[in-house]
Chains A and B, each alone.
Chain A
Amino acid sequence: MSPSSSIAAEPGAVPAPDEHHEHHPSYLVDGTTVKSWLLTLDHKRIGVMYLIWVLLFFLIGGIYALVVRLELLTPGPTIIDAMTYNRAFTMHGVVMIFLFMIPAIPGAFGNFMLPLMLGAKDVAFPRLNLLSLYLLLTGAVIAIWGMINGGMDTGWTFYTPYSTHTTTTVAPILFGAFIIGFSSIATGLNFIVTTHTMRAPGITWFKMPLFVWAMYATACIQVLATPVLGLVLLLVVGEHLFHFGIFDPAMGGDPVLFQHLFWFYSHPAVYIMVLPAFGVMSEVVAAFSRKNIFGYRAVAFSSLGIAFVGFFAWGHHMFVSGQSTFNAGVFAVLTMLVGVFTAIKVFNWVGTVYKGAVDFKTPFAYFCGFLYFTVFGGMTGVAFATASLDVPWHDTYFVVAHFHFIMVGATIMAFMAAIHYWFPKMFGKMYHEGWGLVSAALIILGFNATFIPQFLLGNAGMPRRYYEYPERFQTLNVASTAGASLLAFGFLISAIYLTYALVYGRRAASNPWRSKGYEWMTESPPPTHNFVGPQPTYPEEPHFYVEPKKAEVPDAV
């Protein structure tokens, strides 16, 4: 590469100052008062605020996780009493699910990237967008207030009739989750309308980046499933306060009905968490293999397919609830269909990497971890969908390991990949690549070390949500706790070098990865209205990479 042509494309190179920058400050510096952030209608600033909050929630959830893991270090009491333990794993689940996993990628990266990827100046309803952030925070404050004032011991699934009888603080926490549901609906609604109405000329449905497709499918689930959860949470709050008896068998109520309504939301909800991850990864794999995505339409449609069949699979949580054998069979088959759509994606990602010019940067390292967690976790899911296998594994650590692998593993990998891939886009800085890889390696290792022992524990019969366990399970529990510490350490490293990069990082080039994603067609960080001058045109498909062998010359431009 000749020095003159490569300067702009080199990571860390300082672009020559030009007039553009003086007249169009980046969204980061356009208004610096606190108010200009808190009341902003700019989707990028809202995205950044989401990012900050979900990271905080992740920290809170993570601390609870470590408390749980430390307690399980020894067979008997270790650091806390049984009741505190019950509260800790409940709060861990509630915080991680409702305050981290569900809002994380759509809230932070969806908000930031979706309009950029559609060539739009903002989302369709900017005020609603800001409102949805504040609804999330309102719900969080109410729920956290409840946690401090007593906490809740039902597990994040709130199963009745226990949840209507326990004396712990159920009402504020469920009410908080109810409000968070509105936030989720608002975000989904906004994204659907944005995708329908705000695409720039040239961006047809089949020229939308795959991340947009994934956000769109996620949004459909958010809009269609969350209202049912809203209703059922309200009912449980009412039950708890007034004991109407709708879900209480002692009063003629039907607790299985609660499970149906709850899982009608919560099973699709796992796709609310994991579809955005799939979307991120489709972007990352194309950018770092430097290849056009293999089977674009198949990847796009499989997102919709997952969203659709996801609505018919809830019964697999109820194989042991007295469901008829026929129902169990139907739900088993429907559940396995999800596996088919996921497999389509996996094959296409692998096909994309195949013969690509892989650029093994941190986001790609996370992609590798992601692929592994998705395949491994997904296969345990298919095993679970087999009703006869579910019976012995149900409510053991096998469940815990399964869902951590698939939804937490996959989603965290995507979340970390997204942070690294879009860091230069969002903040205009570069992080330290070496530390990035070290931290990715630790996190992936730590994850395995935490949850593989849990697969073994579950298979050996250790139930989940138990405070004490027989001596013979101790070795594996110690291994799992050690793994969790490694994991936490990995995240700590990331937190340090990313914060450092934010302040002292080298200025990034406007497209350090030489990515062809649409969001890179404007400056990094983007100006307030996303584009300076005339709107870009979109003659090519997204992720349109010239075949690697011929790529040398155009890449340097």
Chain B
Amino acid sequence: MQSSTATAGTAGVPYRPQVAAHFASLEVQNHAARLGMWLFLATEILLFAGLFVIYANYRFLFPEAFALASRELNLNMGTFNTLLLITSSFTAAMAVHYAKEAKNKQVVLMFVLTILMALGFLVVKYFEYSHKFHEHQLPGPYYAFPGLTLPGASAYFTIYFLSTGLHAFHVIIGMIVLGWVTLKAMRNEFSHYNYTAVELGSMYWHLVDLVWIFLFPMLYLI
């Protein structure tokens, strides 16, 4: 709406993004962006896959300690966080839906909700972490929890902090990415022609969600 030309705004002709000089058409440019994002997400999954392998290895080496240590996590907080993330994934998907219809206000709303839920997730994580610190359920040599002294328990908490820490880092990156897309939506940029940024941002957010869907049962449930 701020734009002076008729190409912007929900009322007039939808905003048409510029095609970079080296692309043949907008379709090709969007296709390239999407493919690039898929590949990037594949690398992210492989990064976490390394952690899953490590988890599987130590679970195999120390089955008992791992089973007992996983009982030390707060299942309520974990479940709550899982629900938060799944819901936020839904709002992120809705943002794409609205972007295609050039409803930029709704896009903003959906992303703000998503970001708020991400923030909620981090707050819950903060309480979980501080409890672990308080109990000395910490990685490796810092582990000093009297309630569980089996060998391998410290390895469990090393993996717990590594994987949830790496995941939390991704949550923060996701919030930044979505924040940036929200700014673009506020400038009314999205329409049927141009919603790639919304789509890619929300794809990234789905990844964050997906990784958690694996982490949650792995760490809290089994």
- Beyond A244-B158, A245-B155, whether A189 also contacts B140 by CB under 8 A is no
Q: Are A189 and B40 in contact (CB under 8 A)?
A: yes
Q: Are B50 and A231 in contact (CB under 8 A)?
A: yes
CA distance A260 to B40 in the complex (A): 23
Taking a contact as CB atoms closer than 8 A, the residue among B28, B40, B47 that contacts A197 in the complex is B28
Q: Are A254 and B58 in contact (CB under 8 A)?
A: yes
Q: Are A261 and B50 in contact (CB under 8 A)?
A: yes
The bracket for how many chain B residues form the interface is: 35 or more
| B contact residues around A155 at 8 Å (CB) | none
CA distance A193 to B22 in the complex (A): 13
Q: Chain B interface: which of A80-88, A220-228, A458-466, A519-527? A: A220-228
Taking a contact as CB atoms closer than 8 A, the residue among B22, B28, B50, B158 that contacts A227 in the complex is B50
Q: Are A197 and B141 in contact (CB under 8 A)?
A: no
Q: Are B158 and A245 in contact (CB under 8 A)?
A: yes
Q: Are B155 and A253 in contact (CB under 8 A)?
A: yes
| A contact residues around B32 at 8 Å (CB) | 124-125, 193-194, 196-198
Q: Are A124 and B36 in contact (CB under 8 A)?
A: yes
Q: Are B35 and A193 in contact (CB under 8 A)?
A: yes
B151 within 8 Å of A (CB atoms): yes
**Interface residues in A86-127 (C-beta closer than 8 Å to B):** 120-126
Q: Are B151 and A228 in contact (CB under 8 A)?
A: no
| B contact residues around A226 at 8 Å (CB) | 43
A420 to chain B, nearest CB (A): 29
B131 within 8 Å of A (CB atoms): no
A230 within 8 Å of B (CB atoms): yes
CA distance A260 to B58 in the complex (A): 14
B190 to chain A, nearest CB (A): 21
**Interface residues in B1-51 (C-beta closer than 8 Å to A):** 21-24, 28, 31-32, 35-36, 39-40, 42-44, 46-47, 49-51
Q: Are A242 and B139 in contact (CB under 8 A)?
A: yes
Q: Are B50 and A120 in contact (CB under 8 A)?
A: no
Inter-chain contact total with CB atoms closer than 8 Å = 105
Q: Are B31 and A197 in contact (CB under 8 A)?
A: yes
A258 to chain B, nearest CB (A): 10
| B contact residues around A192 at 8 Å (CB) | 35, 39
Q: Are A121 and B22 in contact (CB under 8 A)?
A: yes
| B contact residues around A254 at 8 Å (CB) | 57-58, 61
Most chain A CB atoms below 10 A, which of B22, B28, B46, B162: B22
CA distance A123 to B21 in the complex (A): 11
Taking a contact as CB atoms closer than 8 A, the residue among B40, B42, B44, B154 that contacts A224 in the complex is B42
The contact string, 1 if C-beta is below 8 Å from chain B, for chain A 218-255, is 00000110111011100100100011111000011110
The contact string, 1 if C-beta is below 8 Å from chain A, for chain B 120-161, is 000000000000000000011110000000011011001100
Q: How many A residues touch B, CB cutoff 8 Å? A: 40
**Is chain A's interface secondary structure helix, strand, loop, or mixed overall?**
helix
- Beyond A198-B28, A257-B54, whether A245 also contacts B154 by CB under 8 A is yes
B222 within 8 Å of A (CB atoms): no
Q: Are A223 and B42 in contact (CB under 8 A)?
A: yes
The contact string, 1 if C-beta is below 8 Å from chain A, for chain B 142-185, is 10000000011011001100100000000000000000000000
| B contact residues around A253 at 8 Å (CB) | 155
| A contact residues around B158 at 8 Å (CB) | 244-246
B50 to chain A, nearest CB (A): 4
Closest B residue to A123 using CB positions: B22
Q: Are B50 and A232 in contact (CB under 8 A)?
A: yes
A229 to chain B, nearest CB (A): 9
Closest B residue to A190 using CB positions: B36
| B contact residues around A299 at 8 Å (CB) | none
B35 to chain A, nearest CB (A): 5
A185 within 8 Å of B (CB atoms): yes
| A contact residues around B44 at 8 Å (CB) | 227
Q: Are B152 and A252 in contact (CB under 8 A)?
A: yes
Most chain A CB atoms below 10 A, which of B28, B54, B142: B54
Most chain B CB atoms below 10 A, which of A194, A223, A244, A251: A244
| A contact residues around B47 at 8 Å (CB) | 227-228, 230-231
Most chain A CB atoms below 10 A, which of B40, B50, B139: B50
Q: Are B140 and A243 in contact (CB under 8 A)?
A: yes
Q: Are A228 and B22 in contact (CB under 8 A)?
A: no
**Interface residues in A303-318 (C-beta closer than 8 Å to B):** none
CA distance A323 to B40 in the complex (A): 34
CA distance A361 to B39 in the complex (A): 40
Q: Are A126 and B141 in contact (CB under 8 A)?
A: no
A424 to chain B, nearest CB (A): 25
Q: Are A189 and B50 in contact (CB under 8 A)?
A: no
CA distance A223 to B45 in the complex (A): 11
CA distance A235 to B158 in the complex (A): 11
| B contact residues around A122 at 8 Å (CB) | 21-22
Closest B residue to A226 using CB positions: B43
| A contact residues around B159 at 8 Å (CB) | 246
CA distance A230 to B46 in the complex (A): 10
Taking a contact as CB atoms closer than 8 A, the residue among A124, A196, A197, A246 that contacts B155 in the complex is A246
CA distance A125 to B33 in the complex (A): 9
CA distance A192 to B40 in the complex (A): 11
B26 to chain A, nearest CB (A): 12
CA distance A135 to B160 in the complex (A): 30
Most chain A CB atoms below 10 A, which of B46, B47, B141, B151: B46
A181 to chain B, nearest CB (A): 10
Q: Are A246 and B42 in contact (CB under 8 A)?
A: no
Q: Are A120 and B140 in contact (CB under 8 A)?
A: no
Q: 30 interchain pairs (CB within 8 A)?
A: A123-B22, A124-B22, A124-B23, A124-B36, A126-B22, A128-B36, A189-B43, A192-B35, A192-B39, A197-B32, A223-B39, A227-B43, A227-B46, A227-B47, A227-B50, A228-B47, A228-B49, A228-B50, A235-B162, A242-B140, A243-B140, A244-B141, A244-B158, A245-B141, A245-B154, A245-B155, A251-B154, A257-B54, A261-B50, A261-B54
Residues of A within 8 A of B (CB): 120-126, 128, 185, 189-190, 192-194, 196-198, 223-224, 226-228, 230-232, 235, 238, 242-246, 251-254, 257, 260-261, 529
Q: Known pairs A228-B50, A246-B54. 20 more at Cβ < 8 A?
A: A125-B32, A126-B22, A185-B43, A192-B39, A194-B32, A197-B28, A197-B31, A223-B39, A224-B43, A224-B46, A227-B49, A235-B54, A235-B162, A238-B162, A242-B139, A243-B140, A244-B139, A245-B141, A246-B158, A254-B57
